[in-house]
Amino acid sequence: MCGIFGLVLRKGRVAPMILDGLSRLEYRGYDSIGVAVINNGVLQIRKDAGKIKDVASRLRIAEMKGSIGFGHTRWATHGAPNMINAHPHTDSKGKIAVIHNGVIENFMELKQELIDKGHNFISKTDTEVIPNLIDEEMKSDIGITEATLKALRRLKGSYAVVVLSSLEPDKIVCARQESPLVLGVSENGTYCASDAPAIRPYTNKVIYLRNGELATIDVNGYKIIKVADGSAVERTPEEITWVLEMAEKQEYPNYMLKEIFEQPTSLRTGLRLQEKYVDLLTMFLDRGKEVFLVSAGTSQHSCIAASYIFSKIARLTTYPVVSSEFTEQYGSTVGIDSIILAVSQSGETYDTLKAVDHARMRAATVLGLTNTVGSTLTRVSRAYIIQQSGPEIGVAATKTFTSQVLVLAQLAMRLAKLRGKLSQDELDEYKESLYKVPDIVESVLKETYDKVKDIATREKNSRLFLFLGRGISSATAMEGRLKLLEITYIPSLAYPAGESKHGPISIVEKDTACVFICPRGDTHAEIIGSIMEMKARGAKIISICEKGDTDIKSLSDEVIEMPKNIPELLSPIPYIVPMQLLAYEIAVLKGLDPDKPRNLAKSVTVP
């Protein structure tokens, strides 16, 4: 959620670099910004609600002097988005500044305890207890690192905490518990951030902090210790292989559009999975008596699609479960014979990790699918695989869905081979189709974009959209609906088309926009019946179907034609692309920023 970037330099002013780093973390979502620096032993803070550019200009943040400091973009969880609640927060004496991502569950009791001891609070945030707690610990005549260590041991909840103090003006102390934090090292300094894109312009050498670890950084490097017992941790930097341009817009006006058009490339990369990891995950999946696909948001739709693929190809029953409901729904039954395949682009999704922790406590085997090497999910999984789609900056996930479905389809194919559920000829046919998918998506982008733009122009003022599909296309419909809802704010529903008679049809009236996903396959005849039901009630039918599908075309007001001979089980990958483009174009036509939808964040790392 919140963006964090801090650094200590041998030479130069940190303030302009902090603003640059925070701008690279805007995709995480935020409502306020703040910067703290130390210059000549004096701690200076400037902060306010608003966009980085506006606040920085108004408060002249770039002019702040000092070679050590940090910045923060806040996404509110406690207290309204305003100047007082914006980070950094300080202790009552103004000597210790803290920025924080996460939720401190016991902050109310800590706050009352500190008030009773004479500390003053001005904000409504949970974060403000941290600098005051550190200040209280420093009364025992200990340094900032040890005081932070003791303070952290009293916190309950999730955090990425960064501490700066004029009492020790040459270092930054940072720690993580459930919320991500990464360090970077270069010849000119040392860095910490909530995500690597903030650090990448200055170094490709990074160190991912793990849960329960604290690091002290200065111009000479970093030292890591465990919060629990203060024991030293030795960890060498690893190199980031992607270049910064991969996380920038290039010639595109928005990250989202860039990432939509990157999908052929990310899919080709996703076909280059390391065989040993595919085999390892497949082996575990085959052993389980029950398999849960645990995820949230777009990843949940990937898992719903995957449940059809596992069932039909590998004859494996899987249960796609929303992460936040997993413990309540299955927590008392999951056990040693259960397999949890957790799917999270960031590898840091709070609800998914919480579900995973519960499953691990009950001896279930946890497997991971993520896009982020070094993330928490990769560390808590018995085995994991990386979807390899590259950085995704836009809040509305695009590459995530297509890459995850591609990887999950490969797991299903490998499992089918292991179990002997398909003949070699059938496996070869599926594999050949799978390897054609990147080229198919590339052709879809070229051939459908103009048509999608026309439809967007005509439908931008629609008051309601209904997305319908049958079979695996119901997952595609759900993801298409999510994209439109996320970035255009148009009320939208998605259902398996057979369920439309059980409620959704009651809201259909003349010119209601109904988007049907209609690939060739076992469900084709049934989707025609569903289209006829909606058309009879005056709905405007927008169909995504195969070229030459005259039955669908004759019933539709708008048609987006797709390449022929796409297997139905692989259809979610190319068929979602026109809906991604439709959502993007409508958002732009409505004057909205598709990269930064309101109230949303890229990585949901708080409850």
pLDDT in tens, 191-247: 999 988 899 999 999 999 999 999 999 999 999 999 999 999 999 999 887 666 555
In a domain, 449, yes or no: yes
Q: What is the mean pLDDT of the chain?
A: 93
Span 340-376, pLDDT tens digits:
999 999 899 999 999 999 999 999 999 999 988 778 8
Which amino acid, residue 359? A
- Spatial strand order in the sheet of 365-370: 318-322, 290-295, 338-344, 365-370, 383-386
Strand partners, 102: 159
Confidence label for 157 from pLDDT (cuts 50, 70 and 90):
confident
In a domain, 65, yes or no: yes
Name the phi and psi angles at 44, rounded to 5: -120, 135
Question: 3-state SS of the chain: helix, strand, coil percent to 5?
Answer: 40, 25, 35
**CATH value at residue 152:** 3.60.20.10
- The angle at the Cα of 131, spanning 126 to 134, to the nearest 5 degrees, equals 120
Same domain, 378 and 353: yes
Same domain, 220 and 265: no
In a domain, 427, yes or no: no
Give me the mean pLDDT over the 472-488 stretch: 97
Specify the DSSP class assigned to residue 88: P
Same domain, 220 and 263: no
Give me the mean pLDDT over the 512-520 stretch: 96
**CATH value at residue 290:** 3.40.50.10490
Q: What is the pLDDT of residue 249?
A: 67
Q: What is the pLDDT of residue 116?
A: 97
Same domain, 403 and 295: yes
Q: What is the pLDDT of residue 596?
A: 87
Strand 540-546 vs strand 558-562: parallel, antiparallel, or unpaired? parallel
Q: Is the pLDDT of residue 142 over 90?
A: yes
User: Total domain count for the chain?
Assistant: 3
Same domain, 107 and 182: yes
- Evaluated on CA atoms 315, 318, 320, 323, the torsion sign reads negative
- On whether the CB atoms of residues 192 and 182 are closer than 8 A, the answer is yes
- Picking from 265, 441, 527, the residue whose alpha carbon sits closest to that of residue 433 is 441
Whole-angstrom distance, CA of residue 527 vs CA of residue 548: 16
In a domain, 605, yes or no: no
Give me the mean pLDDT over the 141-159 stretch: 95
- On whether the CB atoms of residues 486 and 396 are closer than 8 A, the answer is yes
Name the phi and psi angles at 233, rounded to 5: -120, 125
Q: What is the pLDDT of residue 247?
A: 59
Confidence label for 417 from pLDDT (cuts 50, 70 and 90):
very high
Residue-number span of the structural domain to which 449 is assigned:
443-593
- On whether the CB atoms of residues 211 and 176 are closer than 8 A, the answer is yes
Residues in the chain, how many? 607
- On whether the CB atoms of residues 48 and 88 are closer than 8 A, the answer is no
Same domain, 122 and 211: yes
Which one from 2, 174, 192, 545 is the annotated catalytic residue?
Answer: 2
Confidence label for 79 from pLDDT (cuts 50, 70 and 90):
confident
- On whether the CB atoms of residues 273 and 407 are closer than 8 A, the answer is yes
Give me the mean pLDDT over the 59-81 stretch: 89
List Cα–Cα distances, 7 to 86, 193, 201, 341, in angstroms: 20, 9, 13, 37
Strand partners, 162: 99, 174
Count of Cβ atoms closer than 10 Å to residue 503 Cβ: 10
As a whole number of angstroms, the longest Cα–Cα distance in the chain is 81
- On whether the CB atoms of residues 406 and 271 are closer than 8 A, the answer is yes
Same domain, 234 and 296: no
Q: Is the pLDDT of residue 605 over 70?
A: no
- Picking from 344, 345, 546, the residue whose alpha carbon sits closest to that of residue 355 is 344
Same domain, 464 and 505: yes
Same domain, 240 and 257: no
Report the share of the chain in percent with pLDDT over 90: 81
Q: Is the pLDDT of residue 87 over 70?
A: yes
Flag the least confident range among 44-48, 540-544, 592-596: 592-596
In a domain, 438, yes or no: no
- Picking from 79, 83, 227, the residue whose alpha carbon sits closest to that of residue 150 is 227
Span 307-318, pLDDT tens digits:
999 999 999 999
In a domain, 89, yes or no: yes
Q: Is the pLDDT of residue 392 over 90?
A: no
Show which of 189, 213, 244 is a domain's final residue.
Answer: 244
Show which of 244, 279, 308 is a domain's final residue.
Answer: 244
Name the phi and psi angles at 184, rounded to 5: -140, 150
Same domain, 238 and 271: no
Q: What is the pLDDT of residue 49?
A: 93
In a domain, 126, yes or no: yes
272-306: buried (b, 16+ CB within 10 Å) or exposed (e) per residue?
Answer: ebeeeebebbbebbeebebbbbbbbbbbbbbbbbb
Give me the mean pLDDT over the 84-112 stretch: 93
Q: Is 602 a catalytic residue?
A: yes
In a domain, 428, yes or no: no
Which one from 47, 417, 540, 602 is the annotated catalytic residue?
Answer: 602
Same domain, 401 and 457: no
Q: Is the pLDDT of residue 29 over 70?
A: no
Span 269-278, pLDDT tens digits:
888 887 889 9
Same domain, 228 and 293: no
